[in-house]
Amino acid sequence: MQGTVDGFSYGAVTPVVAYLMACLGGALGLRCTTRSLLVTHSWRPAWLALGSAAIGSGIWTMHFVAMMGFAIKETPIHYDKPITYASLALAVVMVGVGIFIVGYRGATGTALFTGGTITGLGVASMHYLGMAGVHFHGRFTYNTFTVAASVAIAVVAATAALWAAGRVRGFLWSVGASLVMGLAVSGMHYTGMAALGVHLDGTPHTAGGAPEPSVLAPMLIGPLAFLLLAGVVVIFDPLMITGRPVRRPVEHKPGVPATAVASHTQRRPALHEEHRPEHHLSRAPQNR
C-alpha cells in the first residue's frame, strides 16, 4: 500500500527555521575555517575541529528541524536514537576530513575538489542515514536519479563553501557564503525528500501524523547548545570580524631577553646594509 507523505505539516515554519539552522552552522564553520588560516600552525587544528563540529551540528540540526514537519498520514513514525546520533557523528567526521584537507592543503585544485567532495558526501550520508532511523509500519523507496541530484547539490555546495572559506576574508562576504550554503543544504534535504516513496505493510490501524515536537526536541538540545557556544567564541574573537592575520610571537630563547631578540631581528637588515659599504671600503686600500 502506498503511503501519503506530508513534508510541511507545520507550514513554512519548519523550512524557515531549518534554513536558519543551516546558515548558522555554515557561518560559524566557515569563519572558524577562515580563522584557522590566520593563526599559527599550533592553533590550526583546534579551529578546524571547531569549524567541523559547527558545520556538522548545523546540518544535522537543520535536517531534524525539517523532519518535525514530516508526516505519513496513514501511520505514526518513530526515531531510532542510536542511528540518529550516528548520523550526527558521521556528519561531523566527514565534514572534518574535508575541512582539514582544505585547511592544510589550501582551497585550490585537487585539495579543494577532494575536500569539497568528502564534505558533500558527508552531508548526503548524514541525510540518508538519518532517514534510515525513521521507523514506521512500512519502508522507504528512493528514486535513483533524484538521489543522485541531491548528492550532486551537496558536493557542489560544499566545494563552493570551502572555496569561500579559503579565499574570502571579509566578514560580510563570509555571511553571504553561509547564506548560499544554507540554501544549498536545505535544497539538498528537500531534493532528497522528493526522491522518497512510502510503502506501507498492510492496512493501517492507527492514524498517522507529524511527530510531536517533544520527540525530536530533546535530541536537538545538545547540538543547539554547541552552536550557541561556538557563536560566543566567534563573537568574542575580534579577528573573526577583522580577518587580520595574527602576528607571530617573538621566539623566546634560553638566556636571551625577548626584547633583545626582537631588536636583533629588526636591526638585522639594517646591519646587513651597513656592512656592505664597510666591506667595500676595507678593500679600497688593497686596490690601490
- Closest by CA to 168, choosing from 190, 160, 228, is 160
pLDDT at 90: 92
CA distances from 20 to 15, 82, 189 (A): 9, 26, 14
pLDDT at 201: 82
User: At 12, is the pLDDT very low, low, confident or very high (cuts 50, 70, 90)?
Assistant: confident
Mean pLDDT of all residues belonging to the chain:
76
Cell 559547527 sits at which residue?
A: 54
What is the mean pLDDT of the segment spanning 64-86? 87
Least confident of 16-20, 71-75, 153-157, 263-267: 263-267
pTM: 0.73
Least confident of 19-23, 45-49, 117-121, 237-241: 237-241
- Closest by CA to 130, choosing from 78, 35, 223, 60, is 60
What is the mean pLDDT of the segment spanning 34-49? 79
Whether the per-residue pLDDT at 279 is higher than 60: the answer is no
**DSSP-based three-state secondary structure for 247:** coil
Are 59 and 198 a contacting pair, CB within 8 Å? no
Q: Which residue has the higher pLDDT, 87 or 271?
A: 87
User: At 4, is the pLDDT very low, low, confident or very high (cuts 50, 70, 90)?
Assistant: confident
Angstrom distance (rounded) from CA 103 to CA 82? 31
**DSSP-based three-state secondary structure for 171:** helix
**DSSP-based three-state secondary structure for 38:** coil
CA distances from 215 to 74, 141, 210, 247, 257 (A): 19, 24, 10, 49, 61
Kind and range of the H or E element at 168?
none
Q: Which residue has the higher pLDDT, 281 or 16?
A: 16
Whether the per-residue pLDDT at 164 is higher than 90: the answer is no
The span from the first CA to the last CA of the chain, in angstroms, equals 108
Helices (H), the chain: 13-36, 44-67, 81-105, 109-132, 144-167, 171-194, 213-235, 238-242, 258-287
Which amino acid, 239?
A: L
Are 230 and 32 a contacting pair, CB within 8 Å? yes
Helices (H), 168-257: 171-194, 213-235, 238-242
Whether the per-residue pLDDT at 252 is higher than 50: the answer is no
- Closest by CA to 216, choosing from 62, 90, 8, 29, is 62
Q: Which residue has the higher pLDDT, 63 or 42?
A: 63
Whether the per-residue pLDDT at 147 is higher than 80: the answer is yes
Q: Report residue 137 as a C-alpha cell.
A: 509500519
Angstrom distance (rounded) from CA 226 to CA 156? 26
Angstrom distance (rounded) from CA 231 to CA 235? 6
**pLDDT tens by residue, 187-219:** 899 999 999 989 888 765 565 555 555 556 666
Could you count the other beta carbons within 10 Å of the beta carbon of residue 227? 21
CA distances from 43 to 11, 34, 92, 140 (A): 44, 13, 19, 44
User: At 270, is the pLDDT very low, low, confident or very high (cuts 50, 70, 90)?
Assistant: very low
pLDDT at 236: 62
pLDDT at 132: 92
Angstrom distance (rounded) from CA 151 to CA 126? 11
**pLDDT tens by residue, 76-123:** 888 888 998 899 899 899 989 988 998 888 878 899 999 989 988 988
- Closest by CA to 212, choosing from 62, 10, 6, is 10
Q: Report residue 234 as a C-alpha cell.
A: 566567534
User: At 7, is the pLDDT very low, low, confident or very high (cuts 50, 70, 90)?
Assistant: confident
